[in-house]
C-alpha cells in the first residue's frame, strides 16, 4: 500500500469513528434530561423523526428536506373506517373545545360568542364559507389530522397522529368547521 | 403574621379573585390580563393593606434566620456576592459556585445551603420553605437590572443546554418553548399574552398568581409550562430548570430588561 493510500485509509477510519460517537454535547444534554427525572426524560427522549428534525433545524427545515418530510407526514394520516370525512358537528364542538383533545381555542377564534380564544392561529369563525366541496373537506380533514403534512414544524400540532382525537372525531371537527348548521358559521 | 392568619387571609383573597375572574370572563370583550392583575392588586392593597406576596416574604425571612441542625442560619450561605449579602443577588443568578461545583439558580442554591451549611437532609427540606426563602431573597432584587452573563465554562455550557431545551419539540402536542415564545411572542394563548426572552420573559418571578391563589417561583412557572404542553414536569433543582433559566435571563439581559417589583403580582 502506498503512503498516500494508508493516510487516506486511516483518515476514513478516524472520520467513521468520529461520526458514530454520541457527541459530547448530546451526551451532556441527555444527562440534563435525566436529571429532570424519569418521566420527563422519557418523553423528551422519545421524539419521533419529525420532532427531531424540527428541533435540529430550529423549526426551519432546509428546502431539500421538505418534500420527503411532507410525504412522510402525509403517510401518517389515517381515515375513518366508513370513509366519511365530515361527521357530526355537535360532537366536533366538544372535541374542539376540550383542553385534553382539540384544545383549539388555545390558538383560534371559533364560535363568535367565545371571547376567551387565543390569537396564534387564524380565526376559524365562518370557516364554512369555503363550501363543502370534496377538495375543501379533504384538505380540512388532513390539515387537522396532521398539520405537518402541509406546514413542516408548524405550531399547530399533529393531534390525529398523536391520538388526541380519533379519525372519526377528526371528521366531527371537520363538520364543526364546515357544516352550515354549525355555530361557527352562524350569527 | 402567623401561618393560620395567613391561611384565612389567603382564603378571603381567593374568593375575591374568583369573583373577579368570573366577572372578567363573562364580559363581552376580554380585559387585558395585566390590567386586570393591576386592578386586583389595587383591590387587595385597599382591602388588606398588604399584598399576598409580602406574606411569603415574611415567612421566608423567619425561615432564613432559623437555625438548622448544624446550628447555623442561612446568613452563613454565599448566595453569589459573599456570605450574608442578599442585595441584588437574585439579579446575577444562576451562576457557578465553586463550593458545590455547579451552576445554581437561587432555589437550588437555597436547597444546597440548607444541606451543606445548615445540615438538613434532602428529605427534610420542604418545597414550600424553599419557595418562601427564595421569595424573601428575591425581594432584595426588586426592579433590579437583570445581569445574567455566562462567563465561566460551566455557565456557558448551561446556556447552550438551555438553548437546546428551548428548541426541543416533544410530547403529544409537538411543543417546544421556542415555537410559542419566539415565533408567536406578542400573541395570546387563550387570554394569556406570550412573551419572548428578548421581551423580558422570566422577569416577574417569584410572583403571586391570583387566578391560582399560589406563589410561583421561576421553577414552578417552568413546570407549569411543561405540564400545559403535555410534557411531565421536571424534578425541582434540576439542570433543566437551571439551564432554561440561564438561557432566558441571559437573553433578557442582552435586551436590557429589569425585574418587576418582586414578588410580583400577576394573573
Q: What is the CATH number of the domain that holds A113?
A: 1.10.760.10
Say yes or no to pLDDT of A105 above 50.
yes
Say yes or no to pLDDT of B19 above 70.
no
Q: How many CB atoms lie within 10 A of CB A127?
A: 19
Q: How confident is the model at residue A12 (pLDDT cuts 50, 70, 90)?
A: confident
- Closest-approach residue (CA) in chain B for A39: B232
Whether residues B235 and A115 touch (CB distance < 8 A) is answered with no
Answer whether residue A82 is part of any domain. no
The domain spanning residue B118 has which CATH number?
A: 1.10.760.10
- Closest-approach residue (CA) in chain A for B232: A40
Interface test with A, best of B169, B189, B191 (most A CBs within 10 A): B169
Answer whether residue A152 is part of any domain. yes
pTM comes to 0.88
Same domain, A110 and A175: yes
Q: How many domains does chain B have?
A: 1
pLDDT tens-digit map of A15-69: 666 666 778 999 999 999 999 999 999 999 999 999 999 999 999 999 999 999 9
Same domain, A96 and A161: yes
Q: Across residues B259-266, what is the average pLDDT?
A: 94
- Between B48 and A137, name the one with better pLDDT: A137
Catalytic residue among B14, B125, B185, B225: B225
pLDDT score recorded for residue B160: 98
Same domain, A127 and A178: yes
Answer whether residue A71 is part of any domain. no
Asked whether the ipTM of the predicted complex exceeds the cut of 0.90, the reply is no
Interface test with B, best of A34, A46, A52, A55 (most B CBs within 10 A): A55
Q: How confident is the model at residue B27 (pLDDT cuts 50, 70, 90)?
A: very low
| Domain span including residue A27 | 1-45
- Tell me: is residue B221 an annotated ligand-binding position: yes
The reply to whether A46 touches chain B by the CB within 8 Å rule is: yes
Say yes or no to pLDDT of A171 above 70.
yes
Q: Across residues A8-18, what is the average pLDDT?
A: 70
Q: How many domains does chain A have?
A: 2
The reply to whether A57 touches chain B by the CB within 8 Å rule is: no
Percentage of chain B modeled with pLDDT above 70: 88
Instruction: State how far residue A25 is from chain B, nearest Cα, in angstroms.
Output: 8
The reply to whether A97 touches chain B by the CB within 8 Å rule is: no
Contacts of B176 in chain A (CB under 8 A): 54-55, 59
Say yes or no to pLDDT of B16 above 60.
no
Instruction: State how far residue A84 is from chain B, nearest Cα, in angstroms.
Output: 25
- Closest-approach residue (CA) in chain B for A112: B28
Give me the phi and psi of B133, to 5 degrees please. Answer: -65, -40
Answer whether residue B34 is part of any domain. no
Calculate the CA dihedral of residues B99, B221, A32, B177 and round it to 10 degrees: -140
Q: How confident is the model at residue B1 (pLDDT cuts 50, 70, 90)?
A: very low
Say yes or no to pLDDT of B22 above 50.
no
pLDDT score recorded for residue B49: 86
Percentage of chain A modeled with pLDDT above 70: 94
Say yes or no to pLDDT of B17 above 60.
no
Q: Is B21 a catalytic residue?
A: no
Answer whether residue A31 is part of any domain. yes
pLDDT tens-digit map of B196-233: 999 999 999 999 998 888 999 999 999 999 999 999 99
pLDDT tens-digit map of B43-91: 888 888 889 899 999 999 999 999 999 999 999 999 999 998 999 999 9
> Whole-number mean pLDDT of chain A?
94
Contacts of A35 in chain B (CB under 8 A): 234-235, 238-240
Interface test with B, best of A24, A29, A30, A36 (most B CBs within 10 A): A36
Q: How confident is the model at residue B23 (pLDDT cuts 50, 70, 90)?
A: very low
Answer whether residue A58 is part of any domain. no
Contacts of A115 in chain B (CB under 8 A): 27-30
Same domain, A41 and A107: no
Whether residues B232 and A39 touch (CB distance < 8 A) is answered with yes
Cell of B212: 391560582
Instruction: State how far residue A16 is from chain B, nearest Cα, in angstroms.
Output: 25
Answer whether residue B2 is part of any domain. no
Same domain, A34 and A92: no
Answer whether residue A151 is part of any domain. yes
Say yes or no to pLDDT of B179 above 60.
yes
The reply to whether A51 touches chain B by the CB within 8 Å rule is: yes
Q: Across residues B120-145, what is the average pLDDT?
A: 98
Answer whether residue B81 is part of any domain. yes
Size of interface A-B (CB pairs under 8 A): 113
| Domain span including residue B86 | 40-264
Same domain, A41 and A97: no
Nearest-CB residue to B234 (from A36, A148, A164): A36
DSSP character string of chain B: --HHHHHHHHHHHHHHHHHHHHHHHHSSSPPPHHHHHHHHHHHHHHHHSS-HHHHHHHHHHHHHTS--TTS--GGGSB-SSSBT--TTTGGG-SEEETTTTEEE-HHHHHHHHHHHTT---GGG--HHHHHHHHHHHHGGGTTPBP-----SHHHHHHHHHHHHHHH--BTTTTB-HHHHHTTTTTSEETTEE---GGGTTTTT-SEEETTTTEEE-HHHHHHHHHHHTT-PPPPTT-HHHHHHHHHHHHHHHHTT-B--SSSEEE-
Q: Across residues A130-151, what is the average pLDDT?
A: 97
Amino acid at each position: 500500500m502506498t503512503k498516500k493510500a494508508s493516510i487516506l485509509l486511516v483518515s476514513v477510519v478516524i472520520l467513521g469513528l468520529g461520526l458514530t460517537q454520541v457527541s459530547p454535547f448530546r451526551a451532556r444534554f441527555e444527562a440534563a434530561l435525566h436529571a429532570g427525572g424519569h418521566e420527563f426524560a422519557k418523553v423528551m427522549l422519545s421524539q419521533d423523526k419529525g420532532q427531531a428534525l424540527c428541533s435540529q433545524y430550529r423549526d426551519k427545515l432546509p428546502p431539500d428536506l421538505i418534500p420527503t418530510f411532507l410525504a412522510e407526514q402525509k403517510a401518517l394520516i389515517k381515515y375513518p373506517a366508513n370513509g366519511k370525512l365530515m361527521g357530526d358537528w355537535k360532537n366536533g364542538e366538544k372535541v374542539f373545545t376540550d383542553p385534553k383533545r382539540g384544545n383549539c381555542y388555545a390558538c383560534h377564534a371559533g364560535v363568535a360568542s367565545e371571547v376567551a380564544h387565543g390569537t396564534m392561529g387564524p380565526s376559524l369563525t365562518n370557516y364554512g364559507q369555503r363550501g363543502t366541496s370534496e377538495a375543501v373537506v379533504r384538505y380540512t380533514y388532513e390539515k387537522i389530522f396532521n398539520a405537518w403534512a402541509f406546514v413542516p414544524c408548524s405550531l399547530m400540532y399533529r393531534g390525529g397522529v398523536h391520538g388526541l382525537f380519533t379519525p372519526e372525531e377528526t371528521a366531527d371537527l371537520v363538520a364543526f368547521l364546515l357544516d352550515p348548521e354549525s355555530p361557527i358559521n352562524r350569527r | 403574621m402567623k401561618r393560620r392568619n395567613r391561611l384565612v387571609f389567603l382564603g378571603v383573597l381567593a374568593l375575591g379573585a374568583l369573583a373577579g375572574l368570573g366577572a372578567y370572563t363573562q364580559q363581552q370583550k376580554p380585559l387585558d390580563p395585566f390590567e386586570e392583575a393591576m386592578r386586583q392588586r389595587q383591590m387587595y392593597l385597599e382591602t388588606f393593606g398588604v399584598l399576598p406576596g409580602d406574606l411569603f416574604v415574611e415567612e421566608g425571612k423567619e425561615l432564613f434566620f432559623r437555625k438548622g441542625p448544624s446550628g447555623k442560619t442561612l446568613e452563613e450561605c454565599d448566595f453569589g456576592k459573599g456570605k450574608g449579602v442578599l442585595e441584588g443577588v437574585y439579579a446575577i443568578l444562576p451562576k457557578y459556585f465553586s463550593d458545590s461545583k455547579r451552576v445554581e439558580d437561587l432555589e437550588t442554591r437555597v436547597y444546597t445551603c440548607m444541606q451543606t451549611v445548615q445540615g438538613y437532609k434532602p428529605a427534610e427540606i420542604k418545597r414550600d420553605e424553599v419557595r418562601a426563602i427564595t421569595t424573601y431573597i428575591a425581594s432584595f432584587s426588586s426592579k433590579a437590572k437583570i445581569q445574567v452573563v455566562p462567563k465561566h465554562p460551566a455557565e456557558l455550557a448551561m446556556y447552550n443546554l438551555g438553548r437546546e431545551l428551548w428548541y426541543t419539540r416533544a410530547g403529544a402536542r409537538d411543543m417546544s418553548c421556542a415555537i410559542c415564545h419566539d415565533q408567536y411572542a406578542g400573541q395570546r394563548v387563550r387570554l394569556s399574552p406570550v412573551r419572548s426572552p428578548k421581551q423580558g420573559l422570566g422577569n416577574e418571578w417569584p410572583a403571586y398568581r391570583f387566578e391560582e391563589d399560589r406563589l410561583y417561583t421561576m421553577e414552578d412557572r417552568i413546570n407549569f409550562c411543561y405540564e400545559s404542553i403535555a410534557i411531565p414536569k421536571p424534578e425541582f433543582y434540576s439542570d433543566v430548570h437551571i439551564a432554561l433559566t440561564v438561557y432566558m435571563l441571559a437573553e433578557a439581559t442582552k435586551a436590557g430588561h429589569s425585574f418587576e417589583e418582586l414578588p410580583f403580582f400577576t394573573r
